[in-house]
Each structure stands twice: as structure tokens, then as C-alpha cells.
């Protein structure tokens, strides 16, 4: 299996950022780690191993990025406005630095995103905010409520990074047209504490005619890596 490590100084984030690439061809897939997770988490937690056959066969290429959650949403040592601003610089890093690398490494024009738990939030939010960049989104046990990190603070940027909020109010035909053409998968389980959040977001997607599916696994599936490995094998690639 092709495995590449990349590290460079990000002018958007003003620090070094690292990522791992797995595979040589197939659907380019941007992988977000769980809350405060690292770029090597997907490999360490057995997700790459679970997807080995698809990656080696050239069906799937993974781009596993680092997070800055500890500097943004989870950083209780700074004002909530600074937390939001740090997240916005992270988004700029993804758009202006990571996506161009993906395009350089993979000639395909489509792009998928995926993540588990809070990585599911990042995947869904990035996909909904940039539907001209992201064609497919696969969220597993997504945790979508960022207002819990805001200590009651709420402004326009918090609103536009809260999928529950901005999606149900969406009236922009450009966005709605892309949402109808793209694909959004919300997977959760009947023992997953994020089940209700996924039901809520799926309701908003139905209201706005977003091309999506909500899958609730009924076999005792909870909120942990063994279930996410099974989901990844079923959905990705």
C-alpha cells in the first residue's frame, strides 16, 4: 500500500501541519479525526487496515488530516470568538492548502469527506459549506452540536458553522441545487448517544430536499471504533 507522510508550515494556521496519504488511486477522501484527534488516528485505530483491500485495489485514496480542535472549539482558555476564528483559519487551511494537494495527487475531480464522532461534524459542516468542492459526505456517529463549546456566545460565524441551524434556514438556490446533486450519508446506531443529533440533522435534510440517507444500525451499534470500522467498510470506496 502506498503511504505518504507530508508536513509543511501552514501560513493560514501559522504552524506546522501534518497529514498522511494512503493509496494510489480511487475516490479521494478527506478524513477528519475525532475530537482533538491527530492525523495518524485513522491508521492507529485500525480504520486503514479495515479498508486495506479497497485502498490497495485503487478504489479509495485517503487523505488523513490533523485537527486544531484543542485550539478552537475545545480551547476554554480563550474567548469563544477566538475559538470560532481559529476554526475558520483551519477551514482556510483545508481549502487553500490541503485540497490543492489532493488535486495534485489525484486526477479525479470528485471529492469525498468522512469522519467519526466530532470528525463527523467536521465532514458534514465542510461538505455543506462547500458543496462545490465536496461531492460525497460519509458521517459516522456524527456529533454536530458546537454551541456546547460556546459558553452561550453566538454570532454569525457560530450560526454558519452549526449545521442544525443554517441548514433548516437555507434558502439559497445555489446551495440547495448542489445539495440535491451531492450525496450525504449519516450513519449511527441504536446504542449511539449521538443518534438523536443524527435524526435531527436528517430531518433538516429532508425538509430541504438534500440528497441523503440516514442509516441507524440496529444490532447494538454504539459509539466506538469497532462499529466505525464496519461502517467504513460498507460505505467508503
Q: What is the CATH number of the domain that holds 34?
A: 3.40.50.1820
pLDDT of residue 89: 98
pLDDT of residue 219: 86
Tell me phi and psi for residue 154, to 5 degrees. -155, 125
Taking 50 as the pLDDT cut, the residues of the chain under it are none
pTM beyond 0.95: the answer is: yes
Nearest to 73 by CA among 31, 25, 121, 115: 121
The sheet with strand 60-65 has its strands ordered as 3-10, 15-22, 60-65, 27-32, 112-116, 136-140, 183-189, 212-217
Residue 88, domain extent: 3-235
pLDDT of residue 39: 98
What is the total count of domains within the chain? 1
pLDDT of residue 163: 97
pLDDT of residue 79: 98
Amino acid at each position: 500500500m502506498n503511504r505518504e507522510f507530508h508536513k509543511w508550515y501552514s501560513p493560514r494556521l501559522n504552524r506546522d501541519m501534518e497529514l498522511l496519504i494512503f493509496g494510489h488511486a480511487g475516490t479521494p477522501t478527506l478524513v477528519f479525526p475525532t475530537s482533538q484527534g491527530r492525523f495518524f488516528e485513522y491508521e492507529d485505530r485500525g480504520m486503514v487496515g479495515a479498508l486495506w483491500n479497497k485502498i490497495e485495489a485503487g478504489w479509495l485514496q485517503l487523505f488523513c488530516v490533523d485537527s486544531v480542535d484543542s485550539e478552537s472549539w475545545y480551547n476554554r482558555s480563550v474567548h469563544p470568538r477566538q475559538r470560532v476564528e481559529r476554526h475558520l483559519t483551519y477551514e482556510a487551511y483545508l481549502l487553500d492548502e490541503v485540497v490543492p494537494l489532493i488535486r495534485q495527487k489525484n486526477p479525479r475531480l470528485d471529492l469525498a469527506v468522512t469522519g467519526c464522532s466530532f470528525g463527523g461534524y467536521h465532514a458534514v459542516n465542510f461538505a455543506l459549506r462547500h458543496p462545490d468542492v465536496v461531492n460525497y459526505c460519509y458521517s459516522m456517529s456524527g456529533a454536530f452540536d458546537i454551541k456546547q463549546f460556546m459558553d452561550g456566545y453566538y454570532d454569525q460565524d457560530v450560526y454558519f458553522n452549526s449545521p442544525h441551524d443554517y441548514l433548516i434556514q437555507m434558502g439559497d438556490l445555489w446551495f440547495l441545487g448542489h445539495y440535491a446533486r451531492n450525496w450525504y450519508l449519516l450513519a449511527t446506531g441504536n446504542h449511539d448517544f449521538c443518534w438523536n443529533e443524527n435524526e435531527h440533522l436528517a430531518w433538516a435534510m429532508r425538509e430541504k430536499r438534500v440528497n441523503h440517507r440516514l442509516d441507524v444500525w440496529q444490532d447494538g451499534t454504539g459509539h466506538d471504533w469497532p462499529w466505525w470500522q464496519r461502517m467504513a467498510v460498507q460505505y467508503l470506496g
